Amino acid sequence: MTSDMIIAKDLKKVYGDFVAVDGINFTVKQGESFGLLGPNGAGKSTTMKMISSVSKRSSGELTILGKDPDKFGPEIRAHLGVVPQKDMLDRELKTWENLYTYGRFFGLSRKFLKPKVEELLAFAQLEEKRNDKVEELSGGMQRRLAIARGLVNEPEMLLLDEPTTGLDPQARHILWDRLFRLKEQGVTLVITTHYMDEAEQLCDRLIVMDKGKIMAEGSPAELIKKYSSKEVVEVRFGTDKNAQFADQLKKLADRIEVLPDRILVYTSHGEQTLEKISAQGMNPVTSLVRRSSLEDVFLRLTGRTLVD
Binding site for another protein (CB under 8 A): 15, 52, 54-56, 70-75, 77-80, 82, 84, 86, 88-94, 97, 100-102, 104-109, 112, 119, 123, 133, 151, 153-156, 182, 185-187
Residue (88 or 243) nearer to another protein, CB: 88
Residue (70 or 275) nearer to another protein, CB: 70
Residue closest to 54 by CA, chosen among 35, 71, 69, 75: 69
Query: CB within 8 A of 248, min separation 6: which ones?
Result: 280, 282
CB of 43 to another protein, least distance (A): 15
CB of 6 to another protein, least distance (A): 16
CB of 207 to another protein, least distance (A): 23
CB of 259 to another protein, least distance (A): 37
CB of 40 to another protein, least distance (A): 19
Residue (4 or 119) nearer to another protein, CB: 119
Residue (112 or 176) nearer to another protein, CB: 112
Residue (111 or 251) nearer to another protein, CB: 111
